[in-house]
């Protein structure tokens, strides 16, 4: 692949000096795999346990930190936490350091404050997989609830539950970041069984796996781009088909990569069809029905280190008449596969 790759979703292209800057939606999943109690440099998230007689009155203090490799992955093997004292609930808390995780994500590494983080996030999706048991009317009954800490009200807001007797998912989509991301960039989740212990039947949490996914607007920068004109500022592009899907593209000489460009975003330029060019030769104009990035294979000086020639991708606009091409001056230089020097 080349030096720049769109991750997913809608992309906004702007031109800054001699760099091309692209914004795209990036989704990242974080969990507790590899967690060591007391260490945050590798896995910045933490798990805690406690017990009380009223789960929703629990504060963020007085918990015992723990770590168990049983919750590192979803495999059906559960980590059991239980209490048998009558009237007591077992509680488990999961604290995710979203700010640290975002800083370790391509396109988000420049975030420095919680305010920056909140402005870039689209949603947060926590998922807990497991089941719970407690005592009701002298019998052991299944049931568990997932809650999230509301840092505005200092309360726990319910986000789902299950009554399963084997590992099952409880998930939620969070968009109110001011309430649910605290001043340090943390999200706090808690699970507790529906019923307490009764002295005979225990109150237990059985956790298979816990994860949190977040989606944010990331800014990716192609530092190898050279811009001669400013016409591309503000256009909208969509990560699209690969060059391999188009006829006669020599994928051993060009990267399998292309971006379709929205025609309405470029000075109301009317386009009904498009064509792709490599080495100056036109291809089937009916293959793609929008604007395009052409794949132009141009021999350049081989790198003395890699001995790999580079190519460039030219963006041009066409109205279907392949003799009428308007170049917009954004050149993305790519290293390509193969062609070792003899």
* Residue spans per domain, the chain: 10-18+225-335, 25-218
Distance CA(43)–CA(52), nearest Å, equals: 28
pLDDT at 324: 36
Q: Does the structure show a pLDDT above 60 at 226?
A: no
Listing DSSP states for 158-179 in one string gives EEEEE--SS-EEEE--B--HHH
Distance CA(20)–CA(67), nearest Å, equals: 43
Do 123 and 215 meet the contact criterion of CB atoms below 8 Å apart? yes
Q: Does the structure show a pLDDT above 50 at 103?
A: yes
Chain centroid offset of residue 80 CA:
30
pLDDT at 220: 61
pLDDT at 10: 29
**Which has the minimum average pLDDT: 3-7, 14-18, 52-56, 195-199?**
3-7
* Rounded-to-10 torsion of CA 329, 332, 338, 342: 70
Distance CA(220)–CA(182), nearest Å, equals: 27
Average pLDDT, the chain: 68
Q: Does the structure show a pLDDT above 80 at 298?
A: no
pLDDT at 221: 52
| 25-218, CATH topology level | Jelly Rolls (2.60.120)
* Alpha-carbon distances, residue 22 vs 19, 38, 57, 300 (angstroms): 10, 38, 45, 25
Q: How confident is the model at residue 21 (pLDDT cuts 50, 70, 90)?
A: low
Distance CA(201)–CA(84), nearest Å, equals: 7
218: left (phi over 0), alpha (psi -120 to 50) or beta: beta
More confident residue, 335 or 187: 187
* Alpha-carbon distances, residue 91 vs 39, 52, 64, 300 (angstroms): 22, 8, 11, 63
Tokens of 5: 């790759």
Most confident of 155-159, 276-280, 293-297: 155-159
pLDDT at 82: 97
Percentage of the chain exceeding pLDDT 70? 57
Q: Find the angle CA(250)-CA(251)-CA(254) to the nearest 5 degrees.
A: 90
Most confident of 101-105, 159-163, 271-275, 291-295: 159-163
pLDDT at 135: 98
pLDDT at 38: 87
Q: Does the structure show a pLDDT above 80 at 24?
A: no
- In the block, which residue shows the tokens 């909140």? 118
Q: What is the mean pLDDT of residues 312-341?
A: 31
Q: Does the structure show a pLDDT above 60 at 51?
A: yes
More confident residue, 292 or 159: 159
Q: Does the structure show a pLDDT above 70 at 32?
A: yes
Those residues with Cβ within 8 angstroms of residue 90's Cβ, 6 or more apart along the chain or in another chain:
49, 51, 81, 82, 83, 192, 193, 203, 204, 205
Strands 79-83 and 19-31: unpaired
Q: How confident is the model at residue 270 (pLDDT cuts 50, 70, 90)?
A: very low
Q: What is the mean pLDDT of residues 197-202?
A: 97
Distance CA(6)–CA(151), nearest Å, equals: 35
Q: What pLDDT digit, counting tens, does each position of 228-266 carry?
A: 222 333 333 333 333 222 223 333 333 323 333 333 332
- In the block, which residue shows the tokens 């000075």? 267
Q: Does the structure show a pLDDT above 60 at 165?
A: yes
Distance CA(102)–CA(114), nearest Å, equals: 10
Do 224 and 332 meet the contact criterion of CB atoms below 8 Å apart? yes
**Which has the minimum average pLDDT: 18-22, 30-34, 75-79, 240-244?**
240-244
């Amino acid at each position: 692949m080349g030096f720049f790759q769109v991750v997913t979703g809608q992309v906004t292209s702007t031109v800054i000096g001699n760099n091309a800057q692209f914004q795209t939606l990036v989704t990242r999943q974080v969990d507790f795999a590899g967690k060591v109690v007391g260490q945050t440099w590798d896995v910045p998230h933490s798990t805690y346990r406690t017990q009380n007689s009223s789960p929703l009155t629990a504060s963020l203090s007085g918990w015992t930190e723990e770590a168990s490799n049983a919750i590192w992955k979803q495999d059906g093997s559960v980590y059991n936490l239980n209490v048998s004292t009558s009237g007591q609930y077992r509680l488990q808390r999961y604290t995710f350091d979203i700010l640290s995780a975002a800083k370790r994500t391509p396109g988000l590494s420049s975030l420095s404050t919680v305010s920056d983080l909140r402005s870039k996030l689209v949603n947060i999706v926590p998922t807990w997989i497991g089941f719970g048991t407690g005592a009701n009317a002298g019998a052991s009954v299944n049931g568990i609830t997932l809650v999230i800490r509301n840092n505005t009200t200092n309360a726990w807001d319910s986000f789902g539950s299950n009554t399963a007797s084997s590992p099952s998912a409880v998930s939620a989509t969070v968009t109110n970041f001011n309430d649910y991301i605290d001043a340090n960039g943390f999200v706090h989740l808690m699970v507790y069984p529906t019923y307490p212990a009764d002295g005979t039947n225990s109150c237990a949490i059985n956790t298979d796996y816990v994860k949190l996914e977040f989606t944010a607007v990331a800014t990716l920068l192609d530092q190898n781009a050279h811009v001669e004109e400013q016409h591309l500022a503000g256009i909208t592009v969509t990560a699209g088909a690969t060059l391999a899907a188009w006829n006669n593209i020599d994928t051993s000489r060009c990267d399998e990569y292309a971006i379709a460009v929205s025609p309405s975003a470029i000075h109301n330029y009317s386009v009904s069809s498009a064509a792709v060019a490599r080495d100056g030769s036109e291809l089937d104009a009916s293959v793609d029905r929008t604007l395009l990035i052409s794949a132009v294979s141009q021999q350049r000086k081989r790198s003395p280190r890699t001995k790999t020639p580079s190519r460039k991708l030219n963006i041009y606009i066409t109205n279907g008449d392949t003799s009428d091409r308007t170049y917009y001056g954004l050149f993305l230089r790519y290293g390509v596969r193969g062609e070792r020097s003899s």
